[in-house]
Amino acid sequence: MRFDIITLFPELFAPFLASGVTRRAYASGQVDVRLWNPRDYADGNYRRVDDRPFGGGPGMVMMAEPLARCLAAIRAERGEPEEAQAPVVLFSPIGESLNHAAVERWSASEGAVLLCGRYEGIDQRFIDAHVTVQMSLGDFVLSGGEIPAMALLDAVARLQPGVLNDEGSHQLDSFNPALDGLLDCPHYTRPEEWAGQQVPAALLSGHHAQIERWRRDQRLATTARHRPDLIDAARQAGRLAPADEAVLAKLG
């Protein structure tokens, strides 16, 4: 898959693409990331990409024309037919929150053009003409779309085959359908005792069924405590067994 990123700060992506386990996806080309700076498509000696908002007010607004030229260059390089063009994604407070289901859809796609806004925003005429999807990380405002773009890339990259050391590792992540959409359980490692606290006996038992039951119980308890809405969703989807309901009943 290919992600073209329109950003005024392409240098922010260099360490991100070269760090951590997900770098394998970028280095191998499984997730092809290309950076585009709209300043390269702006006019004048100063390569201006923003201007004051009509109607007054604080801040600056990204201009439509440099973005349109940048997007046209991306379309030309991708060589896509007009009827099968990659979607243009804008990270915006009005977009739907990014979640696991959306990440899975993007991980099975052919990619997108990720538009990283800055300043007070982007000229609405460009949004109306070219943006097909708007997404948000949550109900808060960031200085630009670069961090949300990195979040999407990271989440998508780790789902690609061969990226994680353990092929099935991501299937045990929180929100994964393999865990029925529940939160993950607590994890422990050596030493067996630390600061007077012991590792739970079930994890030291060597008994596979007992370990899995402990982990399932912990996932249910953690989810019920912190995200009861996920318990409701799992119940409505018929994903909770009688043993699960018995655990939840004991929790009150």
What the block records as the tokens of 15 is 């360490």
How far apart CA 124 and CA 101 sit, in angstroms, is 28
Q: Which residues are part of a known binding site for S-adenosyl-L-methionine?
A: 117, 137-142
Q: Which two tokens stand for residue 252?
A: 């009150």
**Three-state DSSP class for residue 229:** helix
* Rounded Cα distance, 246 and 39, in Å: 60
Residue of 120, 184, 213, 235 with catalytic role: 120
* Annotation says 232 is catalytic: no
The number of CA neighbours under 13 Å toward the Cβ of 208 is 0
Which residue shows structure tokens 């538009």?
A: 115
Please give the Cα distance from 224 to 226 (Å, whole number): 6
CA 37/CA 39 separation, integer angstroms: 5
Angle, in degrees to the nearest 10, between helices 100-107 and 146-157: 70
In 120-240, the DSSP E strands lie at: 133-136, 193-194, 197-198
> Which residues fall in the annotated binding site?
117, 137-142
Instruction: Please name which of 190, 176, 244 lies closest in space to residue 215, comparing C-alpha atoms.
Output: 244
Q: Is 104 a catalytic residue?
A: no
First to last CA, the chain: 46
Catalytic residue among 65, 154, 173, 184: 173
Which residue type sits at 28? S
In the set 47, 48, 52, 93, the catalytic residue is 93
Please indicate whether residue 158 is annotated as part of the active site. Answer: yes
Catalytic annotation present for 50 = no
- So which residues are the catalytic ones? 93, 120, 158, 173
